[in-house]
Amino acid sequence: MPVHIQPYDHWDARNYAYTLPVYMQPNDPLVAEVLKVAGKFANEKGCSMYGYQGRSRESVKIQAEAIYKALQEMDLHYISSPASFETSGQKIRIPRRVLHEKSKQGTCLDLAMLYATCLEAASLNSVIIVISGHAF
């Protein structure tokens, strides 16, 4: 049986694109901190971080915006991709690395995965769109 081995933080987009969700870690304590801040922003608009239980598009929109605003408050910065195998994928900083490092930096893929992870932690569905040279 063929075995594919790669570095733990490398996403092989060419051969294993479907593995992207493995880099989401919604149970990380630092992600919980993001949701705590997001909860405060949601409360300001009369909403809670209760996923789809509110059964309204408006409540989901408020929650997603609150998470985005909480991430903005963390003063995260965009950086270029680290050296990796760019022709077939790239290294990914898991949410903990993006949130915990003093630099608080990430590529478009790192930051998109972080936002998707936070949405997942709030019981909201997300979609990552990856195009040539960019992710959102």
What pLDDT shows up at residue 122? 97
CA distance 62 to 56: 10
Pick the residue with more confidence: 112 or 4?
112
Q: Where are the alpha helices (DSSP H) in 1-136?
A: 13-16, 29-44, 57-73, 95-100, 108-121
CA distance 11 to 18: 10
CB-CB contact of 107 with 90 (8 Å): yes
Check whether 134 has a pLDDT greater than 70.
yes
* pLDDT tens per residue, range 83-130: 655 566 788 888 989 998 777 999 999 999 999 999 999 999 999 998
What pLDDT shows up at residue 54? 82
* pLDDT tens per residue, range 7-62: 888 888 888 888 899 999 999 999 999 999 999 999 999 999 999 998 899 999 99
What pLDDT shows up at residue 78? 92
Q: What are phi and psi of 134, to 5 degrees?
A: -155, 155
Question: Whole-prediction pTM value?
Answer: 0.90
